[in-house]
A and B are shown apart, each in its own frame.
Chain A
């Protein structure tokens, strides 16, 4: 019996509670514990992916209780794909944390930082492996509370307000999720997702089911930061420490998107959301609005972190757009974009963090001439930005290409225009930054020394930047998991 489904979740949690215990004794052990836990999670994710590819969906009954009585963990190709993305990005972020956190966080907070970040990772992994709707809610709450605390942990000006606003909006979301879950439980008598999808068709004309769908949509919509529910995101993301922001933008909002996909496709089913209630078509428009509005906001930002935050809101829009098109190409593009965008945005936020670490610069105008000071980091920044714009042969191009094909397949050519227009806007604000970095003259003559970052920060940046290039050429590697995931979701 393969225990990877539970071990992948338990490892970060054990690490999270081991770290304060060891932290009482030696504070620097916390970093080692965190790296070890993240590494083990990545290992188990690889094992999960391997066994999903060879033997199909894995079902694991916690406590040996058969569903619907017990909690069932279900790992299908989509879950395995998400697991890999989450644990990869998390591992890199934890490694990156070592130098960054020692410099940026005041003393005594290092232990709690690693505890929280491991809880965040464990909660997200819990969301993607669970097959139980209520368990999904609990795990969502675990990682959300860890996320609120991580926004506030730096104690910088504005961090408490950012965290508070995030908390208030997101907990409206989670309360609605709980209410929707309760509705579904009351009408069907089960919380197991597979069971729900079997029993729900009998109640398709019931108002309770519509209510449940509406509550779950709004709840997870807030978590995913879809327009107009995205207002909490830029404030929270731009204030959190850089490694945390990487996890936030690369995976936390994607996990919201994942829950949305699970609710729409696994619980309600393709037929219900496209034919009976046109939720999916409505979502495509919401996603298109998210992409355009967020890109527009990104252009007008002066702070680098905020610009990147708005840009990642826009890219969540691509993911939701692709999936909500509900055609094979579009879904492939959307799910692939989860991974490709995680690589690119992770790299960009790492670079922004590196700039803060090195010089304390947060404004775009001050970036002038940094290309000569930290060339490797800035080269990585350029590569990742190219991937976000979607310049071939980067990874971002591939997923946007699939998305456009999907839009054409669905007969919605207007979304092709949206994607092209948004890519143009993305190009505008990234080119402005890159232009300043390399050709903006030198603003820091003599003030900033030319040397690279510590290795623990440079390596994650390089890995992600290379990933952006490599996965643009070897598209087949992520597609091996994405294609079966699309098959499973669309019920083929």
Chain B
């Protein structure tokens, strides 16, 4: 693959901003359009940019296969866990308002939507990076 110093430098500058923007979209999910999936895809895309501008192995060292699997599962389990937490608190699945925290129910709901967004974000960023890295690996070997 052809990469130049220009591409690499720009990528190095852009990647932190991309990731910050992705995280911003994740945490603003409860109050504005956006959320876990959209933000997660942006963060994942930053890893794809790294892989494209440098090479696969440098992206692979940043987030190895095992880390991605762990993130992927943890995100999904966190989401299911929050849903099941509501069952423990006596509500139905994903009934956020019921969780007993020292806040008004609306705030609890907002907080839980944020947590769910973060869980989905973790899940999706690992997934989006994996999709590309695996495809590229398949092609390389």
Contact = CB atoms under 8 A, between A and B. Distances in A.
Q: Please determine if A and B sit in direct contact within the complex, based on CB atoms under 8 angstroms apart.
A: yes
A21 B77 contact: yes
Contacts, number: 50
Interface in B92-134: 92-98
A6 B92 CA distance: 9
A20 B126 CA distance: 14
B93 A17 contact: no
Given A24-B66, A24-B70, A18 B77 contact: yes
Nearest to B109: A63
A131 B14 CA distance: 45
A14 B77 contact: yes
A107 interface: no
A43 interface: no
Nearest to A14: B80
A62 B94 contact: yes
A1 B97 CA distance: 17
Interface size class of A (residues with CB under 8 A): 10 to 19
B76 interface: yes
Given A10-B84, A24-B66, A24-B70, A63 B96 contact: yes
Interface of A is mostly: helix
Contacts of A64: 91-92, 95, 97-98
Interface of B is mostly: helix
A1 B92 contact: yes
A21 B70 contact: yes
A220 interface: no
B80 A63 contact: no
B55 to A, nearest CB: 24
Contacts of A6: 83, 87, 92-93
A210 interface: no
A272 interface: no
Tell which of B84, B92, B98 has the most Cβ of chain A within 10 Å. B92
B73 interface: yes
A3 B93 contact: yes
B63 interface: no
A60 B94 CA distance: 12
Contacts of A10: 80, 83-84, 93
Nearest to B92: A64
11 contacts: A3-B93, A6-B83, A6-B87, A6-B92, A6-B93, A18-B73, A21-B74, A24-B66, A60-B93, A63-B93, A64-B92
Interface of B: 66, 69-70, 72-74, 76-77, 80, 83-84, 87, 91-98
Given A6-B92, A17-B76, 13 more contacts: A3-B92, A10-B83, A10-B93, A13-B76, A14-B77, A20-B72, A21-B69, A24-B70, A60-B93, A61-B92, A62-B93, A62-B94, A63-B92
